[in-house]
Chain A
Amino acid sequence: MKQDTAAKTLVIGSTLFFGMALTMGLLTALKFIMPTVGEIEYLSLPRVRMLHTNINLFGWLLQANMGVLLWILPRVLHTKLFSEKLGVAMAALYNLTILGGLVCIVLGRVKNVEYGEIPPPFDYLFMACWLMFTINVIGTIAKRKVKHLYVTVWYTLGAVIWTCFVYITGNMVSQLPMVTGINQANLIWFYVHNTVGLIFTPMGVAIAYYLIPKQLNTPIYSHKLSMVGFWVISFVYVWTGAHHMLHGPISHWLQTVSIIFSFSLIIPVMAVITNFFGTFATAPRSTRLDGPIPKLLLMGTVYYIFTCLQGPFQAIRAVNEITSKTDWVVGHAHMALFGTFSFYAMAGIYYVAPKLAGRELFSKKLGDLQFWIMTIASVPFFAVLWISGAIQGFAWLNPENTFVQTLAALKHAHVIRFASGGFIFLAYFLFLYNILQTFFGKYGEKDKTEPAA
């Protein structure tokens, strides 16, 4: 089978899912302004929200990360993918699984697991896909032609191992009949938080660790910082699940543990960020921000700082009292998964798509334009969620404000969220057009240079 078919399938699949996810997001935002829009069972607000999160996480982001990594791994390990056939089979099964899961959500057949609503048998099929991916990753590492494992490989290896346990705990163990109430809630939040922390963070960071030095043509700033970042995050991240229940009905000691470890997360994150910025700072000025790839990587890293400073502070009891359960949380989640990891994933796709197609990117200018629209629109998009979250949080402290009054006060915020989200949605089509043209368009000569080994 032709080399890189699996990566290509996953990259194209994810690019298409990204559009569906943004459509659902926009529809959710619209329903906050006009609740009677699309008032049918299959498009009720909660179902659209479930579609939005699941398509984003699994259809778009995870698939994009897997596709990009299946291209990167053989390159850093100086070998071929362990099994291209297994990769393609996984890509096909994965897309069918996600589609099947989405149909279930539309029909209201869901689990009570946030981010894991996709019901059996599709969650079991997802796990099968993940194992196939794991075999491919480990197999490729095993047959490598270099001695040293580069940082990208550490993170990918960590992600595939951790995710097996995280996914099974959240989606299968939590649904066992004897797991009830708060015990179940604890397992599910273990899953929810580690979905972001031990799937998307390591995979996104793995991609950035490859792309930043490669794109800027400069070595990574510090090997020691890479080690600090990786080993600390693999120890620290997993403890934080209970910070979703601060002040809530779970053991006080467990809350405190989650706060301490949430705060400790500043250490690995700052190590990673210093490393990324250090690499940017030592790169030649003239090419540092040339084209969409380094721009997306830089902006993603900026959002990574913000999101990872927000996280630890939100986990402090006094701050949590105001921010928790409000729109603030939504802003925080969007900055992590859209601002940071979707930006990294888009950078990855901009990087590998031309390599997969064997020619130059269709248009750098269009990529730049897409970057600027998304970045400029994302600032008011995140900010308005934090502002409305703070308004809600403080308004709720005063019993004189009825709940519906605090909701009415956020009307303007919901309008701004919809409008700025709309720009992000429009910019997506530039991305889609650029990538599809690169793969299938009729332009230019084939780039003769062999994909970098």
Chain B
Amino acid sequence: MTAPLLRVRDLRVTYRGERGIVPAVRGVSFELDEGETLGLAGESGCGKSTVANALLRLLPRGTEVSGEVLLDGEDVLAMKPGRLRAVRWTEVAIVFQGALHSLNPVQRIGGQIAEAIELHDREADARARVAELLELVGIPARRAADFPHQLSGGQRQRVLIALALACTPRLLVADEPTTALDVTVQAQVLELLERLQRELGLSMLFITHDLATLSYVCRRTAVMYAGRIVEEGPSEDVFRRAAHPYAAALAAAFPVIGDPSFRKRPAGLSGDPPDPRALPSGCPFHPRCPVAEPECARVEVELWPAGEARRAACVRVLGGRS
């Protein structure tokens, strides 16, 4: 068995800012094989975007990071600045959310892609490569001369994908790449990502709150809550037969159209995701958990096997009651 492309071990990220100490990620471990797709699901503030940024050490100054992010066995967190710059974009690239803000509004899109290429390879024929990349993501090469505002939302997201692919990375991190898009456009972008992943043999870490989309795009999915992974397994299982009550509640927010059991019966949790600065004791989910037990307020359990290739962090799994 070959070593995984990416192995994250006990990653912890703590922000220190004006608003105090924020433990955003509290011990996250996962692996991603070459050519594999992993979904990272969770709601605002659960730490999923922090994980994405930590992979490339794109974190504000003064942030405390511990654990290991092994890319091909080499720890990103221990890299020297020069090596880190080389790895960024050529090995791992990110497609950010909010295409409108990630593109420079006063620069032609071709120029922005060329800039990324030239930063890493001065010799490259940037012009030809830009044309090739745009065609790859389904945008006519002549539009390289356009400014971002001349493109539609879906096209801008495609440009961001082309930008991420500029230096032929092996791992693509997609942070909510389709959240702001309409359903039909979202479908086009997902189809594009799927095709690229297949054709280029990319590995992909897909981050979103939308479990339904993950079940469609990724083979495996991990669900995060309050800075930790609470469930991990094949996407279809996590989405349809979640073992952790939080993952189940999140999945229930995406009803199966045509399934009468969802008609007129909206399911949801009371309360909001917790503030990472003031996490509840024990399992941080217990105040919102519909099946919490007295001990949940005291102990926070680790991820535990919950069936074939599945893990969940819940006392019910531990006790075989799920």
A and B are interacting partners: no
By a beta-carbon cutoff of 8 Å, the part of chain B in contact with chain A is none
By a beta-carbon cutoff of 8 Å, the part of chain A in contact with chain B is none
